[in-house]
């Protein structure tokens, strides 16, 4: 992925894989705007490089997204790359997950994706160039208990991005869908701090969660190969398991709840 002299926005840039992406893009010569609501994390990350600029942005607010993307264009230039990594990942039984919390989850995970994509697309399309990387998840395909609402938001992101990449295929703008497995980042900690599926708790305790640096390595390789959908690490295996043996999949994941 060409980065030298490019302007990039990375959402969720104050921690986790968003932060890793922001650092790598900046090291590659891109001017990177990092979006997050974690002001302390934003400030600390932006202080690492002159190529990193912090923007406090609530991606669940269309007004805030459009305002901040406009500020990036004014301060840094037209956006060439969007890496949309920001999300929430709480875990609750569907019978106990409140409607307001589920609506907030969709506002951040799904509508945040549409807001960010729509904010950068007109300029990219007009210039006939640009690259969008949306973080969906294998959780939108390989479903697990206690994360029904999260899985639904990521299934929506997966569908949105796959349709988008085909609708814009001949415009010069590329959209990539990233479907990682569970990764050892603060996002997984959100799950564990709520009512986490037993499979994720065991993976955390036994050190089986994916390494975020290696996941980002795989994503960069997938983009270099111009893949539409990138399944890093064990994600492709999980995809086929859920697709080809759904009863075995559910028996396995439910066994962790006993």
Q: Say yes or no to pLDDT of 48 above 90.
A: yes
Residue 179, in any domain of the structure: yes
CB atoms inside a 10 Å sphere around CB 5: 11
Residue 51, in any domain of the structure: yes
Query: pLDDT (tens digit, 9 = 90+) per residue, 164-189?
Result: 999 999 999 999 999 999 999 999 99
CB atoms inside a 10 Å sphere around CB 237: 13
Overall domain count for the chain = 1
CATH code of 162's domain: 3.40.50.720
Q: What is the mean pLDDT of residues 94-109?
A: 98
CB atoms inside a 10 Å sphere around CB 35: 31
Predicted confidence at residue 38, as pLDDT, reads: 97
Percent of the chain past pLDDT 70, that is, above it, reads 100
Q: What is the mean pLDDT of residues 125-132?
A: 98
pTM of the model: 0.96
Task: Indicate the pLDDT class of residue 1, thresholds 50, 70 and 90.
Answer: confident
Residue 27, in any domain of the structure: yes
DSSP 258: -
Residue 203, in any domain of the structure: yes
CB atoms inside a 10 Å sphere around CB 231: 21
Q: Enumerate the active-site residues.
A: 150
Q: Say yes or no to pLDDT of 258 above 90.
A: no
Residue 1, in any domain of the structure: no
Query: pLDDT (tens digit, 9 = 90+) per residue, 221-250?
Result: 999 999 999 999 999 999 999 999 999 999
Structural domain harbouring 20: 7-255
Q: How far is the C-alpha of 231 from the C-alpha of 140, rounded, in Å? A: 12
Asked whether the beta carbons of 6 and 80 are under 8 A apart, the reply is yes
Residue 2, in any domain of the structure: no
Q: What is the mean pLDDT of residues 186-207?
A: 93
Residue 118, in any domain of the structure: yes
Asked whether the beta carbons of 199 and 256 are under 8 A apart, the reply is yes
Residue 79, in any domain of the structure: yes
Asked whether the beta carbons of 6 and 30 are under 8 A apart, the reply is yes
């Amino acid at each position: 992925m060409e980065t030298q002299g490019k302007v990039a926005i990375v959402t969720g840039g104050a921690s986790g894989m968003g932060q890793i992406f922001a650092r790598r893009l900046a090291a590659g010569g891109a001017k990177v705007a990092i979006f997050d609501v974690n002001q302390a994390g934003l400030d600390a990350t932006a202080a690492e490089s002159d190529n990193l600029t912090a923007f406090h942005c609530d991606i669940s607010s269309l007004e805030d997204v459009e305002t901040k993307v406009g500020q990036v264009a004014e301060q840094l230039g037209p956006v060439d790359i969007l890496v949309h990594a920001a999300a929430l990942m709480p875990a609750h039984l569907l019978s106990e997950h409140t409607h307001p919390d589920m609506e907030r989850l969709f506002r951040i995970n799904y509508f945040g994706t549409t807001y960010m994509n729509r904010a950068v697309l007109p300029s990219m399309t007009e210039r006939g160039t640009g690259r969008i990387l949306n973080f969906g998840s294998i959780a939108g395909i390989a479903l697990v208990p206690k994360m029904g609402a999260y899985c639904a938001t990521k299934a929506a992101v997966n569908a949105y991005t796959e349709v988008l990449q085909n609708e814009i295929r001949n415009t010069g703008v590329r959209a990539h869908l990233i479907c990682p497995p569970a990764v050892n980042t603060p996002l997984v900690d959100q799950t564990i701090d709520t009512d986490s599926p037993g499979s994720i708790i065991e993976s955390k305790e036994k050190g089986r969660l994916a390494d975020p640096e290696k996941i980002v390595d795989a994503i960069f390789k997938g983009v270099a190969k111009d893949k539409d959908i990138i399944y890093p690490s064990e994600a492709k295996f999980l995809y086929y398991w859920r697709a080809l043996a759904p009863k075995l999949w559910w028996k396995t994941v439910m066994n962790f709840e006993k």
